[in-house]
Structure 1
Amino acid sequence: MAFCLGVLSGWLSAVLPFFQSDNSPVGPVSQDYISWLGAIPFLSALAGTFIWGNLSERYGRKNTGIILGIPHVIMYSIICLSHNQTAVLIGRVIGGISNVGCLMCVNLYVKEISSNKMRATLTNMLSFSMTVGTLYSFLMCSMFSYDVFNYSLLGISISYLFLFSMLPESPVYLIKNELTEEAKRALSWLRATRDRSLIEDEIDELKCLFLNKTSISLVDIFKTKYYLKTMGMGVFLHCAYLNFTGFAVLITYSTQIFQKLSGEDDVSFYNIGFALLQIVSGISSFFLADRLGRKFFMLFTLIISSSILCSLGFYNYFQMHIDFYIPIPVILVYGFMFMFCTVGQPVLYIFYNELISSESCNYIISIMMLIKNLGWFIVCKLYSTLMLWLKVYGLFWMYGGLCIVITIIIAVWIPETKNKSLRQLKTELQCDDKSPVDNDALVINADNSDNTNHV
């Protein structure tokens, strides 16, 4: 599903050369239609924000994971069977419904089936798999036709439904529902062992890590100072960091941006390099993301990104031309993406995990996804209008300036979370009201960090 989400994000940039050709598979397209194709999946994603979490709790991670694949099967069936512009747009709307569910439920499933030793690594595979999906889109569209590309995606989506149905249910979900024997069988398959003592030990460990007896309602998020502050920080970072820095626009419209920066029509080579760089960055993040403080890495990323974006603006404003195998503006975009995917984005998710207490995580993450997808829709829909008003250089200057604004807000408002427990963070944020951030919550948050002082 993470792979399919990566394809969904990069699909427009990958197929844009087909739409711009004289033999467009959907007929002549306008810039307004292209902006809707890029933005609409993130608008329909809003419909699933508060649905997928409840489905996973009620019907299980496995069943929800299977349901998540159905919108993709429907989407690619529509796109394969019809070349009508309206039909393609409707397909993108349907596919976007599973957007939030993928980030929430698949991440939860992987987290709950992983051993302690591999949990952080396998959780980070989510963003890595998304990047592989984007790379697949660019490679396929550079070698095969529009129809072959979409039929391959339909085949992958159907295969996912079949293969995922063969996996076991999450042991944590089974334990929660007092199906201990089934949980033991699932763990025996997942760990490839029949050693009963090892299975019993891990069952006890999973109960400590994931089964928090404290429960809260959505209203408690707005009544409790700690929850409210952490929600505000999470919403701001998730929305501003991904949407108002140019990251969302570069991911969605990489083909058009590379065409404007390089002055070339065929930019498939740059797109493939763009996706490969994200994969290299994703691998690098496993070694770098936990080296220094979360706040330091976020500020460092934003400052370097602002410098790169402003340099791109000046380069285009003065219409510089420096002969090189790869145009200088493309290299600068690569530098921006390398920074974001190596430390910026991975550290962001580590920060959330350390800041947000487990009993409030489901609600706060849902709200964060809601605002982030709304922001992604807005910036992608406004891209063509802003490009017309501000030109290329003005757009980059705007994003460079916003990076500086976000940097200042993070420096003043956001705390450092590395090597700090939730109780320490609560004190630092001056939240003295009574809330269920207790020892149970502290234990649950330990599963994504190697630092024992979280416990």
Structure 2
Amino acid sequence: MSDQLTTTKRSTGTALTNTIAAISATGGLLFGYDTGIISSALLQLKAEFHLDTLGAEIVTSAIILGALFGCLGAGTLSDRMGRRRTVMVAAALFLIGTVMVATAHSVAMLITARLLLGLAIGAASQIVPIYIAEISPPEKRGRLVVGFQLAVVFGVTVSFVTGYLLRDHSWRIMFGIGMLPALILFVGMVFLPNSPRWLAMRGRHDEARDVLRKVRPSDEVAEQELREILEGHDEQAPWSVLAKPWVRPAVIASVGIALLCQLTGINAVMYYAPTIFSGAGFGQDSALLTSVAVGCAMICATLFGGWAVDALGRRTLLLRLLPGAVVSLIILGGLFAFHLTTGIGAWLTVLAVMGYTVFNTGSLSVAIWLIGAEVYPLSCRGKGMSLVAGSHWGADLVISLTTLSLVEGLGAGGTFWLFAAVNALALVFIARYVPETKGKSLEQLEASLKNGTFAPVAKAQKQANLQTS
């Protein structure tokens, strides 16, 4: 009878954890859809609003600028209000922004609506991965947090498919579809529990215990985890703690991954793929279909990454896949540089884009939100994740504002070769500064920061010192 109760409790806890992760990840779906739909809608917006290259870049980038401010503000907000309520605020902003963008009749209103959507996206990117990570058990944390990124790329793919199917209809419908997942997110979060770690940080230990008992396989496991949280718990820290030497390795690793996720070019391909391919001689319909294929490749890569982060490890996944992204971009750059994008070259171009998408999305895009949510101490996790998300959106803003200009200045071939070089540099950075976090509790990772064994280069140096002493 006791074994049956334990099995039932384990199944109930797993089901609740999965439900929490799934509903929370709807924020990722909105993130992906609202950032991705612009690539299809832009073809209509440029004609209706008479947008030149700069105008197209501003409309595209407005959402990124909003996301930059949204993620920076969400850190303090989530520490005060809680992870769950902050997600609800983001859902409300998604709803308001979607209504505004779908009814915009001027460039100014369009940009304002996109800024508001950006605030929601920035907040969601900061808080949803933390909420999922803080409520998940260590052995499942990887794939559950990657579920957020899976929702992002699924949202991007849905936006590409929607853009293709509605290519002969109004762009307003394309944007308006985003209201449904925003409603699901807002209503769903009403019924979910608070993060047990946030509750513990606020001194609400009994409430933290109750949540842990609901999402863990036994009361004993819940009690042990609560003890570890309380033993390693510090008071809520100010922003200045992120500059302290013992926290700095977490900042370097997480912010480095966040910057490289964008500087390696993945969103340049996502945002401007139809425009780039149209300029290379593809018809408009073919360009949109290529974007759908890119989205499907992103989903497959993220599904693989969601398995691999727990089976192989975060660091191992990054080091194994990124070389493929470098090779794909070198080939892609050559096809454009030597004008080989017609005939059989057109198919080679699509395959190179797909290869790059799989290798880059399956590594950096999978790891960014997971590593950012894992590596910071509880006392500054919200602020640390704000810094991660802010770095991501800041780099994204630079990429979205400059990609079309880079293509015009360097040519598509030169632009892709530049991204190949950045992907190669990413390999060196990961080898030196990004630790393996697979299977470790959040409290164990915090302990490695405090004892100086967090970064691979520091850990290797410490081991060498011990051997020679």
Identify the range of structure 1 (138-147 vs 68-77) with the bigger mean alpha-carbon deviation.
138-147
Q: How does 1:281-292 map to 2 (within 5 A)?
A: 281-292=301-312
- What RMSD, in angstroms, separates the aligned Cα atoms of the two structures? 3.0
Higher helix share: 2
- Alignment CA distance shift 1:4-1:348 (3 Å): closer
| CA shift for structure 1 position 354 | 6.0
The separation in 2 between residues aligned to 1:111 and 1:416, in whole angstroms, is 17
Amino acid at match of 2:33: V
The separation in 1 between residues aligned to 2:295 and 2:178, in whole angstroms, is 18
- 1:246 is aligned, of 238, 262, 265, to 265
- 1:414 is aligned, of 404, 410, 433, to 433
The separation in 1 between residues aligned to 2:192 and 2:265, in whole angstroms, is 38
Amino acid at match of 1:218: W
Matching residue of 1:449: none
The separation in 2 between residues aligned to 1:68 and 1:275, in whole angstroms, is 25
- Alignment CA distance shift 1:156-1:217 (3 Å): closer
Matching residue of 2:6: none
The separation in 2 between residues aligned to 1:102 and 1:242, in whole angstroms, is 17
- Alignment CA distance shift 1:394-1:100 (3 Å): same
- Alignment CA distance shift 1:199-1:175 (3 Å): farther
Q: Does 1:104 align with 2:132?
A: no
Matching residue of 1:78: 100
| CA shift for structure 1 position 109 | 2.3
Structure 2 residues without counterparts, runs of 5 or longer = 1-26, 460-469
Aligned partner of residue 284 in structure 2, secondary structure:
coil
Identify the range of structure 1 (338-347 vs 417-426) with the bigger mean alpha-carbon deviation.
417-426
Q: Does 1:148 align with 2:169?
A: no
Q: How does 1:34-433 map to 2 (within 5 A)?
A: 34-115=56-137, 118-144=140-166, 145=169, 146-177=171-202, 179=204, 200-201=219-220, 203-208=222-227, 210-211=229-230, 212-215=232-235, 216-222=237-243, 224-239=244-259, 241-261=260-280, 263-266=282-285, 267-292=287-312, 294-321=314-341, 323-324=343-344, 327-352=347-372, 355-411=375-431, 413-414=432-433, 416-417=435-436, 422=448, 423=451, 425-426=453-454, 430=458
The separation in 2 between residues aligned to 1:34 and 1:209, in whole angstroms, is 51
| CA shift for structure 1 position 243 | 2.2
CA contact (8 A) 2:435 2:454 kept: no
| CA shift for structure 1 position 189 | 6.8
- Alignment CA distance shift 1:353-1:180 (3 Å): closer
Structure 1 residues without counterparts, runs of 5 or longer = 192-197, 432-455
Matching residue of 1:442: none
Identify the range of structure 1 (276-285 vs 180-189) with the bigger mean alpha-carbon deviation.
180-189
The separation in 1 between residues aligned to 2:369 and 2:218, in whole angstroms, is 30
Output the TM-score relative to the length of structure 2.
Answer: 0.79
The separation in 1 between residues aligned to 2:455 and 2:173, in whole angstroms, is 57
| CA shift for structure 1 position 138 | 1.6
Matching residue of 1:7: 33
Amino acid at match of 1:219: S
| CA shift for structure 1 position 295 | 4.5
Amino acid at match of 1:217: P
CA contact (8 A) 1:289 1:343 kept: no
The separation in 2 between residues aligned to 1:147 and 1:427, in whole angstroms, is 48
- Alignment CA distance shift 1:200-1:394 (3 Å): same
1:362-418 per-residue CA deviation (whole Å, 9 max, x = no partner) reads 33322222222112111210112211111111111221222233334444x425436
Amino acid at match of 1:126: F
The separation in 1 between residues aligned to 2:296 and 2:228, in whole angstroms, is 36
CA contact (8 A) 2:71 2:389 kept: yes
Matching residue of 2:51: 29
Alignment: residue pair count: 418
- Alignment CA distance shift 1:149-1:351 (3 Å): closer
1:189-212 per-residue CA deviation (whole Å, 9 max, x = no partner) reads 768xxxxxx764354244245443
